[in-house]
Amino acid sequence: MNAKHHIKRVTIVGAGNVGHNFGLAFRQAGYLIHEIYSRTKTSALLLSQTLNCNYTTDLSQLNTNTDLIIIAVNDDAIPEVLKQLKIKDKPIVHTSGSTPIEIFDGLGFEQVGIFYPVQSFSKNDTESLTPIPICVEGGDSKTEDLLLSLARSVSNKVYGMDSEKRKALHVAAVFANNFSNHMYHVADDLLRQHQISFEIIRPLIEKTSNKLKNERPLNAQTGPAVRNDRKVIDMHLDYLKDQSNYKEIYELVTKDIFESQQKKKS
């Protein structure tokens, strides 16, 4: 089954990073972006001009002549968006990693699902969905088959995944992406305190990242925590004594690294 035979016109609710990237990616894959919704006229107009489609700032006025509605708004805004939508007879999906499919319950929608991209997006760095994993869940088997087919038309990496597994995936993604990036910020801050450029540790970050292409993170771990080198660890903690947040993070992560390595050995 080719999803394009069933879905041609796509409506995107939300003109932020996800809506922007989805709009461009779906258009590139041959779909017609039918309409864009945003709370603000400026963002709606801008994206509609980019995608050469209509726009609205009133959810109740969305054009019904569509084949799919994609909700691409912040998690907190999803319930209110769903309450305001009057189109109930067309497939509708949200793109959240942490919002369960039960969010659609009792609202009268006939075909519901989730279309979660495992990637962080930026309006300034748009990219194809082709290499990005898409996790799909449907409210019923027919809808899930449709969404799986749709996903395969825009991505090479498609996974059927229920809400509980997707929640675990989203938590893992926060650790791997958001938290690791914050660690880079901490490193940058510590370096800047001594007028040292972040450029000096970029090769180190890249080498670690490259190692993960072929081995599990647990096996790629290095550093004083792996060896439980208390002399070095205590010296670092003393250095951080006046930066309590960084010291607390250092202690907690060091402890967890050491314990993980001990479990690995047992």
Taking the C-alpha atoms of residue 100 and residue 265, their distance in angstroms, rounded to an integer, is 37
Task: Tell me the average pLDDT across 151-180.
Answer: 94
Name the average pLDDT for the chain.
93
For residues 225 and 251, give the distance between their C-alpha atoms in angstroms, rounded to a whole number. Answer: 10
Superfamily of domain 3-161: NAD(P)-binding Rossmann-like Domain (3.40.50.720)
Looking at residue 80, its pLDDT comes to 95
pLDDT band, residue 1 (cuts 50/70/90): very low
Mean local confidence (pLDDT), 50-54: 93
Instruction: Inform me whether the pLDDT recorded for 127 exceeds 70.
Output: no
Confidence band of 120 (pLDDT split at 50, 70, 90): confident
**Confidence class for position 122, pLDDT limits 50, 70, 90:** confident
> What is the model's pTM?
0.85
β-pairing, 158-160 vs 134-138, is parallel
Q: Which tokens is 85 given?
A: 């939508």
Helices (H) and strands (E) in the chain, counts: 11, 8
How is residue 91 written in tokens? 């497939």
CA 242 to each of CA 182, 183, 229, 247: distance values in angstroms, whole numbers, following the listed order: 19, 18, 22, 8
Q: What is the phi/psi pair of residue 170, to 5°?
A: -65, -40
Cα separations in angstroms, 209 against 66, 176, 180, 219, 220: 42, 11, 11, 13, 10
Domain 166-265 sits in CATH at 1.10.1040.20
Range(s) for CATH 3.40.50.720 in the chain? 3-161
For the segment 28-43, the average pLDDT, to the nearest whole number, is 94
User: What's the distance, CA 21 to chain centroid?
Assistant: 12
Residue type, 244: S
Residue range 179-199: average pLDDT?
A: 97
Task: Report the candidate in 157, 135, 132, 165 with the shortest Cα–Cα distance to residue 147.
Answer: 135
Three-class secondary structure assignment of 46-72: HHHHHHCCEEECCHHHCCCCCCEEEEC
pLDDT at residue 5 above 60? no
